[in-house]
Chain A
C-alpha cells in the first residue's frame, strides 16, 4: 500500500488518471451513452402497421413531431408555463432573498435558511400530493376563501378562459401555483447569494448622490442581482420544462412535453416519438443556458 502510494506520488498525471477513470467511465458510458441512445432512438420510427420500432435512421419521427399542430401546441404550452413560472418565482423569491441577504439578523438568517432548505428537500411527491389536498374542491384553500367571503373572486378566476377549470386542482391556475411553489427555493438560494455580494458602499453612494430608494433599487441593486436571478431561472425554467408528475396530478386537460414523453414510451409504446419529444427541452435549455451565461448566471452558482 505504502509502496503504491510512493510510486504514485511521483507520477501525478498517472495518479490523476487513475482517480478519474472509474467515475469518468461510469458517467461516460452510462450517462453519455444513454444520451446517445436517446438521440439514436429519436431518429428511428415506428412501423404504423406492426407498431414495432424500425431500427433504421430516418427523420420521419421529427417530421411527425413538428407537422402535427397538437404537438406544436404542447411545446408552446410547456414553454409558456415555464416562462410564467420563472417570472412569478422571481417575484415571490425576491423579498425573501432580499430579507435574508441584507436585513435579517444572523439568527433570523439561520431560521430562514433552514426554513427554505427543509421544504426544498421534503419529499417531492408528498408536496405535490399536499397541494392536491389544498386545492381540492372541498379542500383547505376553498375553505379559507369561503371564510373570507371571497368565493365570488375564486369563481371568477376559475371561469376565466384558459387558466380556469372546474376546480383549482384541475386548472392551469392551480398547476401554476404548484409549479411556483415547487421551484421557489431554487430561485431563493442563488438570489440570496447574489444579493449578499452587493456592496453596502454602493447603496450609500447611490443614496448620497440623491437617488430615491426606488431608483437605487432599479439602477444599482437589480443589475447586481441579475446573475442570481439568471441562475435561479435556469432551475425554474428547466425543471418546469421536464416535469410530468405535476401536470398529471394537478391536471388540466392540455398535455405537457414531459407527459407526452412518459405516455409515448409507456402506454403508447412509441419510444422514438418520446425520444424526439425529449430532445425539445434539451434544445430549449441549451438556448436558455447560453442566454443565462451572458447574464453571468454561472458566476452566481
Chain B
C-alpha cells in the first residue's frame, strides 16, 4: 500500500493546488475591477492603471434623481415579489415535503422549470401572454415575472429543511397533546425559520438583480438593472455607472452573506 505522502492520486500536487487557487482568483477579478474603477479620475476611457483616484463620483451619483427612482422601483418590486414567493413557496414546500400522491413528480417538475429553463423563455412567454391578454406592462407585470422564479428559490430552501426535520418530532408534539397550530408554532416554525429567512433573502437578491426576464416585462418602467443596462450602451457618464456598479455589489452582498450564515453546511463548523 502506498503511503499518503507518496505520489498517489490523493495528494494534491503543486500543479493541482495552483490551478485551484488560480481558478478562485479568476472568479474574483471582476469584483476587484469594479471596486477600483469606482474611484478612477479618468472619465472617458477604460484606461488601466487609473491615472488617479477620487471620491468625487460618489457625490455626483448621489445627486442623480433617476438612479434613486430606479432604486426605489427595484426595492419595491423585490419586496412584493419576495413576499409572494415566501407565501406560495412555503405552502408548496409543506405540501410536497413528505407526501406521496399521484402526479407528484409532474408538480415537482413544475416547481423547478422556471429556473431550469433559461430566463429568456420565461420573459418571452410572459410577454406573449400579456400581449394575448391585452395587459399593459408595468409594475405588476414585473412583479409577476419575478415572483415566478422567486417561488422556486423559497420552495427549494424550505423543502430541504423540512426533509431534515424528523417526522417523529411532529408526532411527539401531537402525542403530548399539542394541537396542529401549537405544533406548527413551537416545533416546525423554529426549525424552518432560518431556511425561510435565507430563501427570502436569496429571492430578494435575485429579484433586485434580475434583468433577463425584466427587460421583457417592464414596458417603460426602469428598474435599477434596466437603468444600468441602458447606461452600457450610452457610455457618456461612465464614472456614475462605475459608482452604481460598486454600490449594487455591496448592497446584494449583505443578504447573500446572511443567507449563507443561516444555511451553511454543518461540516464547515470545525472548532
A residues lining the B interface (CB < 8 Å): 1-2, 5-6, 8-9, 13, 16, 19-20, 22-24, 26-28, 30-35, 37-38, 40-41, 92-93, 95-96, 98-100, 102-103, 106-107, 109-110, 112-119, 121-127, 129-134, 136-140, 142-143, 181, 184-185, 200, 203-204, 206-208, 213, 216-217, 221, 234, 238-239, 241-245, 249, 258, 261-262, 265, 271, 274-275, 278, 281-282, 285
How many Å lie between the Cα of A79 and that of B18 in the bound state?
32
The residue in chain B whose Cβ has the minimal distance to the Cβ of A281 is: B118
Which residues of the partner chain B approach A281 to less than 8 Å between Cβ atoms?
A: 118, 120-121
B231 CB to closest chain A CB, in angstroms?
9
Which residues of the partner chain B approach A130 to less than 8 Å between Cβ atoms?
A: 29-31, 33-34, 245
Q: Is the CB of A203 within 8 A of B91?
A: no
Which residues of the partner chain B approach A5 to less than 8 Å between Cβ atoms?
A: 179-181
How many Å lie between the Cα of A124 and that of B148 in the bound state?
19
Q: A271's contact among B116, B131, B267, by CB below 8 Å, is which?
A: B131
Q: Is the CB of A23 within 8 A of B124?
A: no
Q: Is B113 located at the chain interface by the 8 A CB criterion?
A: yes
Stretch at the interface among B59-67, B161-169, B191-199, B205-213: B205-213
Q: Is the CB of A136 within 8 A of B30?
A: no
Q: Is the CB of B30 within 8 A of A126?
A: yes
Which residues of the partner chain A approach B132 to less than 8 Å between Cβ atoms?
A: 37, 40-41
Question: Max chain B CB contacts within 10 Å: which of A115, A125, A245?
Answer: A125
Q: Is the CB of B2 within 8 A of A207?
A: yes
Q: Is B53 located at the chain interface by the 8 A CB criterion?
A: no
Q: Is the CB of B181 within 8 A of A133?
A: no
What are the interface flags for B242-269 relative to A under an 8 Å C-beta threshold, 1 for contact and 0 otherwise?
A: 0001001100110011001000100110
B residues lining the A interface (CB < 8 Å): 1-2, 7-12, 16-17, 19-20, 23-24, 26-31, 33-34, 37, 45-49, 87-89, 91-92, 94-96, 99, 101, 107, 110-111, 113-114, 116-122, 124-129, 131-132, 144, 147-148, 151, 155, 179-181, 202, 205, 209, 211-212, 215-216, 225, 228-229, 232, 241, 245, 248-249, 252-253, 256-257, 260, 264, 267-268, 270
How many Å lie between the Cα of A16 and that of B92 in the bound state?
9
Which residues of the partner chain B approach A208 to less than 8 Å between Cβ atoms?
A: 1-2
With A34-B128, A123-B252 as contacts: A106 and B270 at CB distance below 8 Å: yes
With A125-B229, A207-B8 as contacts: A23 and B131 at CB distance below 8 Å: no
Q: Is the CB of B94 within 8 A of A19?
A: yes
Q: Is the CB of B211 within 8 A of A103?
A: no
Which residues of the partner chain B approach A19 to less than 8 Å between Cβ atoms?
A: 91-92, 94-95
A250 CB to closest chain B CB, in angstroms?
10
Q: A121's contact among B33, B107, B126, B252, by CB below 8 Å, is which?
A: B252
How many Å lie between the Cα of A263 and that of B130 in the bound state?
18
Which residues of the partner chain B approach A2 to less than 8 Å between Cβ atoms?
A: 179-181
Q: Is the CB of A30 within 8 A of B148?
A: yes
Q: Is the CB of A275 within 8 A of B101?
A: no
Q: Is the CB of A98 within 8 A of B34?
A: no
Q: A140's contact among B2, B48, B91, B99, by CB below 8 Å, is which?
A: B48
**7 closest A-B pairs (Cβ-Cβ)?**
A242-B118, A130-B30, A5-B180, A95-B19, A99-B20, A34-B125, A37-B129
Which residues of the partner chain B approach A109 to less than 8 Å between Cβ atoms?
A: 268
How many Å lie between the Cα of A133 and that of B95 in the bound state?
47
With A31-B148, A243-B118 as contacts: A138 and B46 at CB distance below 8 Å: yes
Which residues of the partner chain B approach A262 to less than 8 Å between Cβ atoms?
A: 120, 215-216
Q: Is the CB of A100 within 8 A of B20?
A: yes
Which residues of the partner chain B approach A103 to less than 8 Å between Cβ atoms?
A: 10-12, 16-17
